[in-house]
Amino acid sequence: MSQSARAVFLDRDGVLNRASVRGGKPYPPATTDELEILPGVFEALAALEAEGFVLIGATNQPDVARGIQRREVVETINERLMAELPLRDIRVSYEDGESPRRKPNPGLLLEAARDYGVDLAASFMVGDRWKDVEAGRRAGCRTIFIDHDYDEPRPEPPADFTTNGLVAATAWILETTRTGGTRDA
């Protein structure tokens, strides 16, 4: 398969769906009843899909390894997101601790790129935590940081673009690709 597709890799919690913030730190929904897709996400993803982007979720879910969450619940949440949003796939790292698949390492993105014929240099990673941005950078993607002002480290070096939500991130992606923007855009 040729590496010609462009992708937008999307963190799940805080990008696609609302993360609950406690003590300045984001947490995933604990149940499907808590799952709330953020405003504008469907329209933003539809616009990206219309421009030919492959849309792939990439999420760390270490609470499974920690025994705090059941894998079946994570999979049910992902299935619901896949049913309601134009996502091609959601890749999950269930590991806790160092793993090639767990962001900030790029394993999830590299696997998806191989499986879907994605040109990483023509692709984007959108996330709300420094680990998302670093995974995108390590994979060779342009990076977008959705800043929810969490009480945790920010991406260093900064992402290619920082904004407050997926709608603005999508506008930047579309403008950048339509105008042939570079990493420094």
In terms of Cβ atoms closer than 10 Å to its own Cβ (0-12, 13-18, 19+), residue 136 is buried
Report in angstroms the alpha-carbon separations of 67 from 11, 29, 70, 86, 104: 22, 15, 7, 30, 22
Q: Which residue has the tokens 């923007």?
A: 181
Q: Using H for helix, E for strand and C for coil, what is the string for 116-142?
A: HCECHHHCEEEECCHHHHHHHHHHCCE
- Which position among 11, 63, 128, 160 bears the catalytic label? 11
State the catalytic residue, choosing from 13, 63, 128, 160: 13
Concerning whether 13 is annotated as a catalytic residue, the answer is yes
Active site residue 149: no
User: Any idea which residues carry the catalytic annotation?
Assistant: 11, 13
